[in-house]
Chain A
Amino acid sequence: MSELPPPTIEEFYRQCADRKLMAVRCVRCKHIMVPPRAICPKCRSSRVEWVQLSTQGKLVTYTIVHVSPPQFRHMTPYAVGIVEMEEGVKLPSIIRTSRLESLKIGMELEVDFSPKSQETSWPHWPRYFFKETE
């Protein structure tokens, strides 16, 4: 365990640079969590390990944002949602689609990554996002 990277948010985004969507799993109760953290919220165990998530997920819910904070204004209207991965863990995400009207609860999505944020006032970390499956 000691050589493994710590269960931190920065480490999660560092892995996005390698096009890996990671989560932390509790060794004891197997609860999977994003954001990663050192203490399992379900069983309070502090033995957690990194696991790589699959690339496929399902859209649990979504909205189309028309009024955004300044950092996202150039993207409006854009879709954000919650995606449930095959492993059962959920993530919030921007949903990239050219057809906002085609979004539906339950639709299949796949993860993709962008190397760096474009906004100067925002941390320059790599990002994950979801898009419609090809």
Chain B
Amino acid sequence: MRRPRRVKPLATIISAGLSKFGRRDGVYARELFAEAALEAFHRVEELDPGKDIKAAFIGQMSEAYEHQAHDAPIAASWAGLLPAPATRIENACASSGSALRCGIMAIKSGMYDIVLVGGVEKMTNQPTPEVTGILATASDYPFEQWNGMTFPGLFALMATVHMHEYGTTEEQMAAVAVKNHKNGALNPKAHMQKEVTLDEVMKSRMVAWPLKLYDCSLITDGASCLILTAPKLAKKLSDNYVHIIGSGQSQDTFCLHERDSLTTISAAKQAAQEAYKMADVKAKDIDVAEVHDCFTIAEIIACEDLGFCRPGQGGKFVESGASNIGGTIPINTSGGLKSKGHPVGATGTAQVHELYLQLTGQADRRQVPDAEIALAHNLGGSGATGVVHILRSA
């Protein structure tokens, strides 16, 4: 069997932290962020965060939830990082995936040797229709929003074509929800730690046909963060570190209707190709992955775009059990956006947090044995942004 060449890491993750995901009444975004940061700090006793962390890049999608913009200095202040430069990175649901790339570039350039990257969103302050409206701001205003498009609606437009062209079924989409809820039930930080049956998914109320309530990710409050260092510093600071060996980001047309194909997300596909090339690994080398299951159809498309199965076969792939814990390539062991929850700005680095646990053997009941190479796939909007990272155990 071909062993991947061990490429030089871009940067190294020495620690990761995650707030409890869920409906977090009475807590501000900054307080959630501090909760995630504190967990990350506790993992690395050798580090003096206020002194050693030289910069922070923090993903957040919208100021509308809390009527609060300029959140990076607030989050940095609550995490005790002042006066280190802190910058908010916004790429809709890929905000912290992009923030991670900024952190990697900061390390790789040699400008800083230790940085914190992360993300946060406090969404449940607003009722669901308002949240639907705020999320829709990540789609095109004068053409998509004006025409009554919503995010479930945009992904439903992709699902309809996927069903028409490949015969993908509503049951196959529901199988994604069943699998991810099963994983999420094993994750004490997940928003919904509850298994669901295929029947419950199929009978849940319609959101945007063919997508039902249980095809949609959750409206969640949460924060996540990672501490990155130059690879040579990792050993001195942490016993549990993982290397970032590939990073890709690509963009596609902002409006869904302008794309050549509605059954693939080309930005993610290109980001994956870039990351695979950089890491010198192939899809079959990936041991565990977190993919952006904002809607069940998105996980089906992601499996195809990442090369885990052939185009059009994503529905059959999940149905086969290949992506279960114990399958050939476990996907969304954390529960994914579907069950762990989707605090939009926090999602990208929350995915990497799960992979950090997997590659350092700390994923408890969700642990994939001997996982060495992991992949995170993070989308922004309806796929105008795709971010992919590949990690390797130390």
Q: Hey, which bits of chain A sit against chain B, CB under 8 A? A: 9, 13, 33-35, 41, 60-73, 75, 77-78, 80-82, 90-94, 105, 117, 122-123, 127, 129
A-B contacts counted at CB < 8 A amount to 105
| Neighbouring B residues of A63 by C-beta, 8 Å | 152-153, 156-157, 159-160, 208-211
Instruction: Say which residue of A9, A13, A41, A75 sits within 8 Å of B148 (CB atoms).
Output: A75
Shortest beta-carbon distance, B343 to chain A, in Å? Answer: 19
> Across the two chains, which residue of chain B brings its CB closest to A76?
B148
Task: Specify the chain B residue showing the minimal Cβ separation from A78.
Answer: B148
* B150 engages A69 (CB within 8 Å): yes
Interface, chain B (partner A; CB < 8 A): 128-130, 132-133, 136, 140, 142-150, 152-153, 156-161, 164, 205-211, 253, 255-258, 262
Residue of B nearest to A63 (CB): B156
Q: Indicate which residue in B128, B143, B160 contacts A92 across the interface (CB closer than 8 Å).
A: B143
Contact B142 A35, beta carbon cutoff 8 Å: yes
21 pairs, A vs B, C-beta closer than 8 Å:
A9-B142, A35-B255, A61-B161, A63-B156, A65-B149, A65-B150, A65-B152, A65-B153, A66-B205, A67-B128, A67-B132, A68-B132, A69-B129, A69-B145, A70-B130, A80-B153, A81-B157, A82-B157, A90-B257, A92-B149, A123-B146
Given contact pairs A60-B257, A92-B256, a sample of 17 additional A-B residue pairs in the complex whose CB atoms are under 8 Å apart: A9-B142, A33-B258, A61-B157, A62-B160, A63-B160, A65-B153, A67-B128, A69-B130, A69-B136, A70-B133, A80-B147, A80-B149, A81-B157, A82-B256, A92-B144, A92-B147, A94-B148
| Bound Cα distance from A27 to B152, whole angstroms | 36
Report B-chain residues with C-beta under 8 Å of the C-beta of A35. 140, 142-143, 255
Check B133–A66 contact: CB distance below 8 A. Answer: no
* Contact of A67 with B129 in the complex, beta carbons under 8 Å: yes
Query: Do A82 and B128 touch (CB < 8 A)?
Result: no
Tell whether A64 pairs with B208 under 8 Å between CB atoms, given A75-B148, A90-B257: yes
Q: Looking at the assembled complex, report how far the CB atom of B214 sits from the nearest CB atom of chain A, in whole angstroms.
A: 13
CB distance from A99 to the nearest CB of B (A): 14
In angstroms, Cα B207 to Cα A62, docked, is: 14
Complex contact A60–B142 (CB within 8 A): no
Rounded to whole Å, the gap between the CB of B173 and the closest CB of chain A is: 13
User: Which residues of A are found within 8 Å of B144, using beta-carbon distances?
Assistant: 92
CA of A34 to CA of B140, assembled, Å: 12
Looking at the assembled complex, report how far the CB atom of A16 sits from the nearest CB atom of chain B, in whole angstroms. 11
CA distance A71 to B134 in the complex (A): 12
Q: Which residues of A contact B128 (CB under 8 A)?
A: 67
- A58–B258 CA distance with the chains assembled, in angstroms: 15
Residue of A nearest to B209 (CB): A64
